[in-house]
Amino acid sequence: MVFEIVTPREIEQRSMETITKELNGRTWPEPEFSVIKRCIHTSADFDYADNLCFSPNACQIGIEALKNGADIVTDTKMAMSGINKNKLATFGGQVHCYISDPDVVEEAKARGCTRSTVSMERGARIQKPVIFVIGNAPTALIELDRLIKEGAVKPALIVGVPVGFVNVVESKELIMQAGVPYIVARGRKGGSNIGAAIINALLYTMGR
C-alpha cells in the first residue's frame, strides 16, 4: 500500500472539497456553510449538516463580537486548546477556562454544585463582550440561562454543543429560547472539539 505525501494545507483543502461533494449539492448561506463544513471536517459526521441550529444572524453577530475584541469563556480545557488563540489575539480577545482553578473547585465543593456552574458565574463578571463556548457540561448552559434571566449576563453569542445523554438535549433547547444569539448542535451530539471548530470557522472567515 502506497500513501501520498500531502501537506496539512492540501489535506484540509481536499477534505473540504470532499465534504462539499458528499453534501450532494446542499448549500447554506455564508458564513453558516463554513461553520457546518468545519464541524463535519472535525468530526467526519455529516449529521452536523442537519443538527446545527443558528439563531438569526448568529454567525454575523459572533464575527462582529470577535472583531471588536470579545473574549471567550469555555467549559473545558480541550475547547480552550482547540481555539486558534493567536488569531483571536489579533483582534484583542482571549480565551478563559476556569474549570480547574483551585478556587472554583473549592467553591463548587462548598456549595454542592458543579464547577461548570461556578465557571459560568466567573465568566459573567468579565467586563467586555463574551462568547460562551460549551462543549461538555449541560449544567453550564442551565446556569447561563439562569444568569440571563436574572440580567447578570448578556452573552454576545452562546455556542451550545455539549455531548451526552443526561440533560444535554434539554439544556440546548433551553438556550434556544433564552433570547440571545446562539449556535446549537441540537440533540445528543457535540463536544469540545465541535465548539472550538465553530469558533475557528468564524475566525477563519474573518481572515478572508
- B/e letters for 66-93, b = 16+ CB within 10 Å, e = fewer, are beeebbbbbbbebbbebbeeebbeeeeb
Question: Domain-by-domain residue ranges, the chain?
Answer: 48-206
Which position among 37, 38, 41, 172 bears the catalytic label? Answer: 41
pLDDT in tens, the chain (208 residues): 877 777 888 888 999 999 999 999 999 999 999 999 999 999 999 999 999 999 999 999 999 999 999 999 999 999 999 999 999 999 999 999 999 999 999 999 999 999 999 999 999 999 999 999 999 999 999 999 999 999 999 999 999 999 999 999 999 999 999 999 999 999 999 999 999 999 999 999 986 4
pTM score of the predicted model: 0.95
Between CA 62 and CA 35 the distance in angstroms is: 12
Which of 153, 155, 162, 160 has the alpha carbon at shortest distance from 190?
162
**Whether 96 is catalytic:** no
Superfamily of domain 48-206: Cobalamin biosynthesis CobH/CbiC, precorrin-8X methylmutase (3.40.50.10230)
Between CA 162 and CA 181 the distance in angstroms is: 17
For residue 52, the SS3 value is strand
- On the CB side of 200, how many CA atoms lie within 13 Å of its CA? 19
For residue 182, the SS3 value is strand
